[in-house]
Amino acid sequence: MNTRKYSKALISVLMMWTIGVLPMAVLAQTRISMPRNKYDVQEDVKLGRKASAEVSRQFPMLRDGATERYVESVGRKLVAAIPQEFNEPAFHYEFDVVNASDINAFALPGGPMFVNRGMIEQAKNEGK
């Protein structure tokens, strides 16, 4: 009989704890908001295109159709996952591969993105 009493008391305490803690956990969720951009969207696009052309001149670019298609495919999946409130229609997402063995990638304003060959070679799959 005592164990039943303790079990009921334990269940009651757990239920009260759940009712008290769950609402606080929901309120503690981090809200993501768009940071203020001091540049005009069109200025971002223009800067990105200019910088992208400079990157293509200064770095050796990998010209391999299969690799380019793969990186483009992965990039399109990432772009498709951008939440609607953060999607900027003026951005033109482009994905290029730098022919360098370093494990690196970078993005430029307005959408151009670059992935080093070394990052692709070291990855086991799209997620790792």
Per DSSP (E only), the strands in 49-111 are 94-98, 105-107
Is residue 109 within 8 A of residue 39, CB to CB? The reply is yes
| 111 plus 51 within the same structural domain | yes
| 93 plus 56 within the same structural domain | yes
Is residue 113 within 8 A of residue 105, CB to CB? The reply is yes
Average pLDDT of the chain? 86
Interatomic CA distance for residues 121 and 4, integer angstroms: 61
Instruction: Please give the order of strands across the beta sheet that includes 94-98.
Output: 94-98, 112-116, 105-107
pLDDT tens, position by position, 66-99: 999 999 999 999 999 999 888 899 999 999 999 9
| 11 plus 64 within the same structural domain | no
Q: Residue 75: give the domain boundaries.
A: 41-122
Interatomic CA distance for residues 110 and 43, integer angstroms: 8
| 52 plus 93 within the same structural domain | yes
Is residue 103 within 8 A of residue 119, CB to CB? The reply is yes
Bridge partners of residue 115, in order along the sequence: 97, 105
| 103 plus 55 within the same structural domain | yes
- 59 within domain boundaries: yes
| 26 plus 66 within the same structural domain | no
| 71 plus 110 within the same structural domain | yes
- 36 within domain boundaries: no
Domain total in the chain: 2
Longest dimension (CA), the chain: 82
| 22 plus 59 within the same structural domain | no
Q: How confident is the model at residue 48 (pLDDT cuts 50, 70, 90)?
A: very high
| 109 plus 60 within the same structural domain | yes
**Under 8 Å CB-to-CB from 41, ≥6 apart: which residues?**
88, 90, 91
| 20 plus 47 within the same structural domain | no
pTM, to two decimals: 0.69
| 9 plus 62 within the same structural domain | no
